Amino acid sequence: MPDAKAWRDKLETKLVPQIAENIHQFESQMQLKKQGKVSDTLFAESRLRLGLYGQRYDNGHRFDGVQARQIEFPNPYTKGHETHWDAPGMVRIKIPKGEVFPDQLDLMANLSEEYADGVSHISTRQDIQLHFIRIEDTPSLMLRLAAVGITTQDACGNSVRNVTTSPETGVEEGEVFNVDPYATAIFRFLLGHPDTMEFGRKFKISFSGKESNASGLTNMNDMGFLAKKQMVDGAERLGFKVLVGGGLGAVPHDAKVLYDFLPLEKILPVSQAVCRIFSRLGEKKNRALARVKFLVAKIGVEKFKDMVEEELKTMRHDPRWEALIQNLEVTEEHPKTLASIARKGEDAEFNTWMDFNVRQQKQAGYYLVTVQVPLGDLTPKQMRGIAELARVRASDSVRLTVDQNVVLRYVSGSDLVHVFNELKRLGLGEGCSGSIQDMTACPGTDTCKLGTSSSRGLAFGLQKHLQSKGKLRPEIEKLKIKMSGCFNSCGQHHLADIGFYGVARKKDGRDVPHFQVELGGRWSQEEGSYGLPITAVTSKSIPALVDKLTDYYSQNRKGDENFYEFIKRIGKKEAKDLLEEFKEIPDYDVAPEYYSDWYDHRPYSTGDKGIGECAGEVVSLFEFEIGKAERLYFDGQVALDEGQALQAIDLGTAAMVAAAGALVKVQNKDIHEKAEVLKEFKLRYEGKGLFSANFMRYLYQAIESTRAANVENARQTLQEAQLFIEEVHASRDRAAAALETK
């Protein structure tokens, strides 16, 4: 990977050493994987934790429309189970709180041109995703992101995923307080935290500053923080209502209240305690039951809370608990133009855009502008255009939203016409944010290995259909439509007035794309707001279904009844009867279009589905730690080959310490520092017959003696390191065998 080395040299002064080191370690691991020295499981989880996700067809199988074919990728290596090394993949770029700055937008535009297909996709967790990426390009890509302060670490895999917040936080009328810096603190604290290394599944956190604003979705996350004030001894105190065990997925769960009020200074230790409990007690074998929501449901929130309290007592104090809260990172936002009250004009298009896409901030004379992004996809030119608008007409703090749009903050009323015209020039001037035409869709069969039907295709097809109908009635215009390519709910279909998720049916031996319809979900913080599953319908009939359903709603609603209330009143049976005709699959000879998916020219087939990587791989702490030791050893060999004797000795020694750490950390996760590792290793292994005394001596010699920096000593240290690592494996195996015998 010569490019990565060149980028590292070029960007050296801009890189945080630890981040650069993590990327370098991944490069080493790539080399070791090619040499067959790292397992598929370990490599897959390592790359997932760096945001490097698999993509559809990476198992090398694809139905081309005529026959199922093997894609003949050139390299024989794999990057996971049944995952070809050369198969294009997705990179998920973690954007904490969805907050992104102009230079970062420019950089991501460049990356999409150089490494991807020229498209930056906004995910439903405020990330940016690039598709069709070669794994060989990922170290360069990650280094370039790191140079502008962005990491992909923990973007996928069984880790703490992107921390989300409302895009309005800090500027919204009526919010309790600005939750933004607390979300930053928790992101920094849990990023790569040792207590998050052994999860059985992913863990999602969300913040919101205002209960009535749904965009934080605190009720639908593994852990949600809702800003709250409380009077204590006559003084106002800030904190959070803390929720736990919420989530969408195939089986949605409302979060339960863990703390009705948790003071600010407690949020980090409590989060850590929840992670430790999830890590220890969460399901590891059955992925379908491995999220926190199942654990909370199983043991009850009261018991879960007791466990959190107990855990807090046993945890070693971490000075970062206070430091990160006392020294909050607050984004200072500087508007570029003086505040000014907005006014509508003569232009009807502008006025409509004002109605749908512009909201007043609590700071008088400043406005939030929602840029509606079709299917969350942006071209490089659009990314740069938004960056430029932020530089000259808004705050530098641009927000990506969970409904796949972009929000500009601190736009002065006097700049709105300019911003509108500029967005129109970029093809982003649609004035229907938050309306029925502003749909949310996950990647579905376009790129996701789990997709059953084309959610993006359906969204675009339906959007075009609705646009062709002209002005819609106000009660219909307000409805929300969301779709997912499968039951996993990445498109948040449970929360929509009209939700769809992909399923398949057969007729006369042919596969037919379908969507399950869910009605009456709500984009709200309140409980019981998930949609009611009604029935599965053919994908191609959905535009007609939406017409019939919305007409029926308009004609039969009582007073100001909203769609949720309407569906609740008419009930599942009446709704099902209404949709009955859309279950009908016409014969192939009559309507062949029903047998292919939206914007896909192949006959529809479910044969392309692969094994998803949403769940990540369950990799033990031991495997992670021993993997680290092996990478250090490998780097030592490279240094020796390059004549860097001193560096090779240091790396060989570090490899032995890391390997010893692998053994002791599985027994005590609170051990992090080198001195602690050595102390614990001595305590637990010396004279116990559990570890060869000869190999143990290698470690102590390397630590205690200062070997002259020559090639001979370097070679010897590395040989000893290799033997030491082997003995760590053997010791671990012996302990496991002894346990089995018992």
Contact footprint for other proteins (CB under 8 A): 2-3, 6-7, 10, 56-57, 62, 64-66, 71-74, 86-88, 106, 109-110, 113-115, 117-119, 131-132, 134, 140, 374-375, 377, 379-382, 384, 426-428, 446-447, 456-457, 460, 463, 599-602
Q: Are the C-beta atoms of 452 and 486 separated by less than 8 Å?
A: yes
Q: Which is nearer to other proteins, 303 or 602 (CB)?
A: 602
Q: How far is the C-alpha of 460 from the C-alpha of 466, rounded, in Å?
A: 10
Nearer residue to other proteins within complex by CB, 295 or 546: 546
- Shortest distance, position 55 Cβ to other proteins, whole Å: 9
Closest CB to other proteins among 132 and 261?
132
Residues 6+ apart with CB under 8 A from 412: 335, 336, 337, 338, 339, 340, 365, 366, 367, 393
Minimal distance, residue 145 CB to other proteins, in Å: 14
User: Contact 55/90 with Cβ under 8 angstroms?
Assistant: yes
User: Whole-number minimum distance, CB 2 to other proteins, in Å?
Assistant: 8
| Gap between the Cα atoms of 81 and 35, Å rounded | 16
**Residue 540, SS3?**
helix
The residue among 134 and 359 lying less far from other proteins, judged by its C-beta, is 134
- Residue (172 or 446) nearer to other proteins, CB: 446
Rounded Cα distance between 158 and 164, Å, is: 17
Long-range contacts for 416-421 (Cβ within 8 Å, ≥24 apart)?
A: 416/342, 416/354, 416/358, 416/367, 416/369, 417/345, 417/350, 418/393, 419/369, 419/389, 419/393, 419/394, 420/350, 420/353
CB contact at 8 A, 166 and 210: yes
The least CB distance from residue 471 to other proteins, in Å, is 21
C-beta atoms surrounding 571 within 10 Å: 10
Distances in Å between the Cα of 462 and the Cα atoms of 253, 436, 437, 598 are 29, 10, 8, 10
Q: In whole angstroms, how close is the CB of 140 to other proteins at the nearest point?
A: 8
Shortest distance in whole angstroms from residue 73 CB to other proteins: 6
The nearer residue to other proteins, 140 or 218, going by C-beta atoms, is 140
At residue 84, the 3 state secondary structure works out as strand
134 versus 572: smaller Cβ distance to other proteins: 134
**Edge-to-edge strand order for the sheet containing 532-538?**
440-441, 481-484, 498-507, 510-519, 532-538
To other proteins, the closest distance from the beta carbon of 428 in angstroms equals 7
CA distance 37 to 475: 61
- Dihedral angle at the C-alpha atoms of 253, 309, 225, 123, nearest 10 degrees? -60
DSSP letters, 173-233, are: TT-SS--HHHHHHHHHHHTT-GGGTT-SS-B-EEEES-TT-GGG-GGGSSEEEEEEEEEET
DSSP alpha helix (H) spans, 666-710: 674-685, 693-704
The distance of closest approach from Cβ of residue 6 to other proteins in the complex, given in angstroms and rounded to an integer, is: 6
H/E stretch holding 366 reads strand 366-371
Distance CA 497, CA 178 (A): 29
To the nearest whole angstrom, how small is the minimum distance from the Cβ of residue 155 to other proteins?
Answer: 22
Q: What are the helix and strand counts (H, E) for the chain?
A: 22, 24
Distance CA 461, CA 150 (A): 35
Residue 464's CB: how many other CB atoms inside 10 A?
A: 11
Q: CA–CA separation, 737 vs 705, rounded Å?
A: 35
> Which is closer to other proteins, CB of 379 or CB of 554?
379
Closer residue to other proteins, CB minimum distance, 600 or 670: 600
CB of 402 to other proteins, least distance (A): 20
Query: What is the CB neighbour count within 10 angstroms for residue 388?
Result: 15
Shortest distance, CB of residue 644 to other proteins, whole angstroms?
24
Q: Which is nearer to other proteins, 533 or 543 (CB)?
A: 543
Please tell me the distance from the alpha carbon of residue 411 to that of residue 424, in angstroms, as a whole number: 16
State the nearest-atom distance from the C-beta of 151 to other proteins, in Å.
Answer: 20
Query: Helix, strand or coil for residue 310?
Result: helix
Residue with Cβ nearer other proteins (206 or 539): 539
> How many Cβ atoms sit within 10 Å of the Cβ of residue 153?
19
CB of 302 to other proteins, least distance (A): 48
Residue closer to other proteins, measured from CB, 62 or 188: 62
In the complex with other proteins, which residue's Cβ is closer, 62 or 684? Answer: 62
Q: How far is the CB of 433 from other proteins (least distance, A)?
A: 16
- CB of residue 3 to other proteins, shortest distance in Å: 6
> Nearer Cβ to other proteins, position 114 or 355?
114
Nearer to other proteins, 107 or 267 (CB): 107
The span from the CA of 326 to the CA of 347, in Å, is 49
